[in-house]
Amino acid sequence: MVFAHDTETALLTAAALVNTAATAGDTLTTSAELDAFVRRWEFTGSRTRDRAELQAVRDLRAALRRLWTCQDDEEVVAGVNALLREAHALPQLVRHDHWGWHLHATSPDQPLATRMAVEAAMALVDVVRSDELDRLRVCDADDCSDVLVDLSKNRSRRYCDAGCGNRVNVAAYRARRAGAAV
Ligand SMILES: [Zn+2]
Ligand SMILES: [Zn+2]
């Protein structure tokens, strides 16, 4: 494990959220899609299930992508600190459902987008402190801008979860065969 379990989960969740605004199309356009995302990534806490909630979560994606792709540590730190400050984050160890002890820094009655933002920000705190920002990447495929977090031991992940690695390998294989045929 590169980071603590809750940090790794939060990073994978944040990447998945950013990637709902994918090159291939937006998959977070309705309350039902938001419900599915919340279920899939096991967010607990209150929901309003209205347009404003959906819009706030949608807006968060661009902010997270900016932090994810930012090349400047100081800028990431400023962004993370701002997210934590604005939400009045207060780290507390909690245990619920099937999760062991982990950090929450918001209360369950805060808006969903705030809780999502703070969870991502708390994970980025760990990433920055461990000097591991280079594990936050954008997919290497030319036609894909999905983000990914490389949690591999040898820092070898280059492609997102949407199958780009396979696609690129197949294209390279075809190109080699085409080259060999000439
Ligand atoms: Zn929790
Ligand atoms: Zn990709």
The Cβ of residue 136 has, within 10 Å, a number of other Cβ atoms equal to: 20
Please give the distance, rounded to the nearest whole angstrom, from the Cα atom of residue 107 to the centre of ligand 1: 10
Please give the distance, rounded to the nearest whole angstrom, from the Cα atom of residue 170 to the centre of ligand 1: 40
Q: Which residue has the higher pLDDT, 59 or 176?
A: 59
> pLDDT tens for residues 41-87?
999 999 999 999 999 999 999 999 999 999 899 999 999 999 999 99
E strands, the chain, are: 21-22, 25-26, 92-96, 99-104, 136-138, 147-149
147, β-bridge pairs: 138
Tokens of 33: 């899609």
Ligand closest to 22 (CA) is 2
Q: How far apart are CA 106 and CA 119, in angstroms?
A: 8
Q: How far apart are CA 27 and CA 67, in angstroms?
A: 21
> pLDDT tens for residues 5-45?
999 999 999 999 999 998 789 999 999 999 999 999 999 99
Please give the distance, rounded to the nearest whole angstrom, from the Cα atom of residue 44 to the centre of ligand 1: 7
Ligand closest to 106 (CA) is 1
Please give the distance, rounded to the nearest whole angstrom, from the Cα atom of residue 52 to the centre of ligand 1: 23
> pLDDT tens for residues 134-161?
999 999 999 999 999 999 999 999 999 8
Please give the distance, rounded to the nearest whole angstrom, from the Cα atom of residue 112 to the centre of ligand 2: 27
Please give the distance, rounded to the nearest whole angstrom, from the Cα atom of residue 32 to the centre of ligand 1: 22
Q: Which of 145, 105, 100 is nearest to 124 (CA)?
A: 105
Please give the distance, rounded to the nearest whole angstrom, from the Cα atom of residue 19 to the centre of ligand 2: 10
Please give the distance, rounded to the nearest whole angstrom, from the Cα atom of residue 26 to the centre of ligand 2: 15
**Predicted confidence band at 179 (pLDDT cuts at 50, 70, 90)?**
confident
Please give the distance, rounded to the nearest whole angstrom, from the Cα atom of residue 12 to the centre of ligand 2: 15
Contact 132, 72 (CB under 8 A): no
For residue 72, what pLDDT is reported? 94
Ligand closest to 93 (CA) is 1
